[in-house]
Structure 1
Amino acid sequence: MTKALAMVSGGLDSILAAKLIKDQGIEVIGICFKSYFFSEESAKRMTKQIDIPLEVIDFSKEHMKMVRDPKHGWGKNMNPCIDCHAMMMKYSGELLEKFNADFIITGEVLNQRPMSQNRQALNTVKKASGFANKILRPLCAKNLDETEMETNGLVDREKLLDIMGRSRKPQMALAEEWGITEYPSPAGGCRLTEPNYAIRLKEMLSFKENSEENLDENEIELLRFGRHFRLDGKVKVIAARTGDEGIKIKEYINNKYIAFYASNFTGALVVLTGEGTDKDIEIAARITARYSKGRNEEMVEVKYGQYGKKFTSEVTVKPINDEELQTFIIGAK
């Protein structure tokens, strides 16, 4: 029986491509990639809707190494889409033998994304993967050259599609026809495409040695939450915007972080990363005062200490003003 590996991102296009091939009587196994910047959760939900198994590949460290310095560069933010897709295809190609599969399916659509899915980019990705003759793009196949799989009769080209461009209407119509009712928006999924996250990641990596072994996964997760301020060298302050955000931040910190709170006013969770100097402690305390109900007071008492332990230290500071705050902030306010 013919067998295919479907690269499943968790979005609608990839699951439609898998369904299209499955409906030709071909056995389909989903392959999902997990990294610091995207997870497998959406892919799990999507594959259940079309009843195919899913294999999750964690390539976080290798992916991070590529993100630092992609051969084909970044997109609008810090998303190395061409190199990322090629890396996924390479991994998938190497799994063909393990699963005794014949070819690879992707959900790419010609010209859906002007930079990473134009004809030249699609060809670059195929070539860079090392498995160019094993890649099939069912949703736009009729707009592309015939593949080995079609020529050899493994796949019926007449049952493939000719979707092209940025409109989502053809995919949404297919989803409705096939009973695929839950799927994420096309803009979601990869954090590297988010402008503020990309700014914070690039800034963080500028202070890290060029070794993936020195990366703290929790620190990468923390880039998603709060306001971030770089004080000096490797020392940073994170201030939650909301109570819910404070709860999320607590999931990724430990007693290596110094936490702050205004003694006499309610306010945001504020933490200091790294071993701060007395000056860093003072600035972090002033930021704490600024994001408390005491922001308009002349002086505010702030207590601090190792997160998770009883706070034993305190300092009285003037809340930092917005002009000075701007000299420390990373990304959006």
Structure 2
Amino acid sequence: MLAKAYIASGFLPSEALTHDGPRRPKAIVLLSGGLDSTLALHMMKEMGVDVVALSFKTPFCNFDCGRGACGGRIGDTASKYGVEWRQLALGEEYLEMVREPKHGYGSAMNPCIDCRVMMFRRAKEVMKEVGADFVVTGEVLGQRPMSQNRRAMQVIEKESGLEGLILRPLSARLFEPTLPERMGWVDREKLLAIHGRSRRVQMSMAKEVGWRDYPNPGGGCLLTEAGFARRLRDLLSHVRHPDQNDVDLLKVGRHFRIDASCKLVVGRNELENDELRGLTRKGDLTLEVVGPPGPLGLLRGSPEEGVVPLAAEIVSRYSDAPKDALCEVMVRPWGGEVRTLKVKPAAPEDVAKMLI
């Protein structure tokens, strides 16, 4: 009955739904590089399911932040199991969703339900493209409060257009059988009934398989972090259409709201200073103390009179310059002439008022 309903709706996953030929069932496995999704992939391969691994790169990924650690881990897993791996980037449409999520936010700025809906919609597109039959995810019922409760999972399935086609092997026996189970593409008796935040069962499974090097549990999404969420709220309240560079800037340094049009970012170490140099673009100013060691400051916006000297005072505050004497700060416009200012380092209480 379930298969007929999907045929009637005009959505036919693949030929596996309509004949008993030799082709094995095929699944899109959402692979994050974490333990749960890797176990889900392992279970599908053990059951003889053909797999295409699919991962997503959002503007707010925390694991790699441009350095490739997460992507490398996913690629290694896909290679180990001999499966095709595709990675999709979610860009401007993701930023717009974060600004006004239909289902609201979690504890910080994390629109988990809307995020999952977007990812599953894209997974559905890939499923059709490669002729797969269903989608697999490592989600565990009750593991995450916002998106992995029963009601949220039902909403996500419905809004993504994948009702009955999302298999969660780690918790499958806590749900009604999905289409893959009813069609016999996977053996329900070999699926699990894990519930909650404990990872004891998963860690035991990993030990049996011989895995030792897997990431600790925890979010790979910066949107769940309170400090990052404050910066993002500030950005969205002052910039109508932020781009990836604006978002990447949120991941670096100390942030100060100077006025409605200007923000200053100050590096906390040499690595962040280098990252700020790489993020500098047309219209930005960089500021550095001349002489004593200190940070790089990046001023973004349209500075009115008095803003640049104030930014110089903040930058010098975090340098090794004497706090009670004038120091020289080099101001470098993008593609413009360098000039210097002599300022006194800002008082700590004044700096604190502007810290985001």
Normalising to structure 1: TM-score of the pair?
0.92
Gaps of 5+ in 2: 1-23, 65-69
Q: Is the 8 A contact 1:72 1:82 kept in 2?
A: yes
Alignment match, 2:342? 316
Which residue, out of 37, 43, 51, partners 2:60?
37
Moved more, 189-198 or 32-41: 32-41
Q: 1:308 to 1:175 in 2, by over 3 A?
A: farther
What are the Cα deviations for residues 69-105 of structure 1, in whole angstroms up to 9, with x where unaligned? 1111111111111111111111111222211111000
What are the Cα deviations for residues 231-251 of structure 1, in whole angstroms up to 9, with x where unaligned? 112211110111121122222
Q: Is the 8 A contact 2:276 2:298 kept in 1?
A: no
Q: How many residues align?
A: 325
Alignment match, 1:17? 40
> How far apart, in 2, do the equivalents of 1:19 and 1:157 lie?
15
What are the Cα deviations for residues 89-135 of structure 1, in whole angstroms up to 9, with x where unaligned? 11111222211111000111011112321111221211121111211
SS in 2 for 1:64: helix
Query: What is the letter of the counterpart of residue 172 of structure 1?
Result: M
Alignment match, 2:212? 181
> How far apart, in 1, do the equivalents of 2:127 and 2:47 lie?
19
Alignment match, 1:4? 27
Moved more, 149-158 or 298-307: 298-307
What is the percentage of aligned positions where both structures have the same residue? Answer: 39
Gaps of 5+ in 1: none
Q: Does 1:115 align with 2:138?
A: no
Q: Is the 8 A contact 1:46 1:183 kept in 2?
A: no
What are the Cα deviations for residues 147-206 of structure 1, in whole angstroms up to 9, with x where unaligned? 121111111001111111111111122222223333222214211112211111111011
Q: 1:157 to 1:204 in 2, by over 3 A?
A: same
Q: Does 1:199 align with 2:230?
A: yes
Q: Is the 8 A contact 2:110 2:223 kept in 1?
A: yes
What are the Cα deviations for residues 53-78 of structure 1, in whole angstroms up to 9, with x where unaligned? 21111221111111111111111111
* Displacement of 1:287: 0.6
* Displacement of 1:308: 6.9
SS in 2 for 1:327: helix
What are the Cα deviations for residues 292-333 of structure 1, in whole angstroms up to 9, with x where unaligned? 11142332221212257662x111112111111122111xxx
> How far apart, in 2, do the equivalents of 1:326 and 1:56 lie?
41
Q: Is the 8 A contact 1:140 1:162 kept in 2?
A: yes
Q: Is the 8 A contact 2:92 2:243 kept in 1?
A: no
> How far apart, in 2, do the equivalents of 1:26 and 1:64 lie?
35
Alignment match, 2:86? 55
SS in 2 for 1:264: coil
Alignment match, 2:248? 221
* Displacement of 1:255: 4.9
SS in 1 for 2:256: strand
Moved more, 176-185 or 284-293: 176-185
Query: What is the letter of the counterpart of residue 89 of structure 1?
Result: F
Alignment match, 2:201? 170
Alignment match, 1:303? 330
Query: What is the letter of the counterpart of residue 6 of structure 1?
Result: V
Query: What is the letter of the counterpart of residue 51 of structure 2?
Result: V
Q: Is the 8 A contact 2:139 2:171 kept in 1?
A: yes
SS in 1 for 2:129: coil
Q: 1:62 to 1:101 in 2, by over 3 A?
A: same
SS in 2 for 1:250: helix
Alignment match, 1:240? 267
Alignment match, 1:149? 180
Alignment match, 1:230? 257
Alignment match, 1:283? 310
Q: Is the 8 A contact 2:286 2:296 kept in 1?
A: yes
Q: 1:37 to 1:46 in 2, by over 3 A?
A: farther
Moved more, 107-116 or 177-186: 177-186
Q: Is the 8 A contact 1:49 1:180 kept in 2?
A: no
SS in 2 for 1:215: coil
Moved more, 82-91 or 101-110: 82-91
> How far apart, in 2, do the equivalents of 1:132 and 1:306 lie?
54
Alignment match, 1:104? 135
Alignment match, 1:253? 280
Query: What is the letter of the counterpart of residue 251 of structure 2?
Result: R
> How far apart, in 2, do the equivalents of 1:286 and 1:233 lie?
19
Q: Is the 8 A contact 2:91 2:244 kept in 1?
A: no
Stretches of 4+ aligned residues off by more than 6 angstroms: none
Query: What is the letter of the counterpart of residue 23 of structure 1?
Result: E
* Displacement of 1:43: 2.6
Q: Is the 8 A contact 1:254 1:308 kept in 2?
A: no
